[in-house]
């Protein structure tokens, strides 16, 4: 009976014992505090520094900001991961603050000893380009090069799951691969746990904007992200 009960629990809580860091990019009050978000902070090895944060993108009509979109998707993902038994650590839970800076965002996942970390974004690319892409770290400025390979594996699973819900690969970044590796993102460079970024569409593209504005699509995205995390963790 005990073994049966444990099997039922394991099936219902497949992510029990895991920790996932969800990093909703930017913040709603960043634009009101330029001095704070423009200050330079450590962003990688070799003394590399970058601005603390940015305001993020928005749709052309201004109705949807990237900061609010990121948090909404992050919350939807949080609920799904928690239901699967994961301990979920959030960078932020409101959209009326400033930052935190990119180095602190990485530190949150590091302090939590996260099994995986995911940074959620939407892009502000050329209006004629559309689609999602996933970003994985490069060893060039990584403080822990050992996370590069597992982060890339995670990124590939994310790409497959996002394609699986009908999101097109980016037509303007990554030569149609839907995945790029970068050494200029402090949130990746400073991570000591496997981590990837998702740019879930181009907010300046009309077709992408319509998709990102729909709550039903955000739900689909959250489901795809949760499945990618579960698959990567082998659960």
Cα separation, 148 vs 135, in Å, equals 11
- Half-sphere exposure (Cβ direction) of 45: Cα atoms closer than 13 Å: 13
List 66, 163, 199, 213, catalytic entry: 199
**Cα distance between residue 7 and residue 194, in whole Å:** 28
Ranges of H-type helices in 39-171: 66-83, 102-111, 148-164
Q: CA 56, CA 48: separation in Å to the nearest integer?
A: 21
Among the listed residues 91, 119, 138, the one whose alpha carbon sits nearest the alpha carbon of residue 187: 119
Torsion of CA 110, 154, 28, 53, to 10 degrees: 60
Distance (Å, whole) CA 13 – CA 229: 14
The question of whether 66 is a catalytic residue gets the answer: no
Residues assigned a catalytic role: 199
């Amino acid at each position: 009976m005990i073994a049966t009960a444990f099997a039922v629990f394991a099936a219902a809580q497949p992510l029990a014992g895991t920790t996932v860091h969800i990093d909703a990019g930017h913040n709603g009050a960043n634009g009101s505090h330029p001095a704070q978000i423009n200050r330079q902070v450590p962003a990688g090895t070799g003394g590399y520094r970058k601005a603390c944060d940015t305001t993020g993108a928005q749709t052309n009509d201004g109705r949807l900001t990237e900061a609010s979109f990121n948090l909404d998707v992050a919350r939807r993902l949080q609920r799904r991961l928690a239901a699967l038994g994961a301990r979920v650590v959030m960078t932020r839970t409101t959209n009326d603050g400033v930052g935190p800076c990119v180095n602190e965002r990485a530190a949150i996942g590091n302090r939590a000893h996260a099994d995986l970390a995911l940074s959620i974004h939407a892009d502000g690319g050329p209006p004629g380009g559309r689609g999602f892409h996933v970003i994985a770290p490069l060893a060039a400025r990584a403080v822990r090069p050992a996370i590069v390979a597992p982060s890339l594996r995670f990124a590939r699973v994310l790409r497959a799951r996002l394609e699986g819900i009908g999101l097109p690969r980016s037509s303007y970044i990554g030569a149609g691969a839907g995945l790029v590796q970068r050494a200029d993102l402090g949130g990746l460079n400073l991570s000591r746990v496997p981590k990837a970024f998702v740019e879930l569409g181009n907010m300046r593209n009309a077709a992408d904007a319509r998709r990102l504005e729909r709550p039903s699509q955000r739900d689909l995205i959250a489901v795809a992200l949760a499945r990618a995390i579960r698959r990567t963790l082998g659960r």
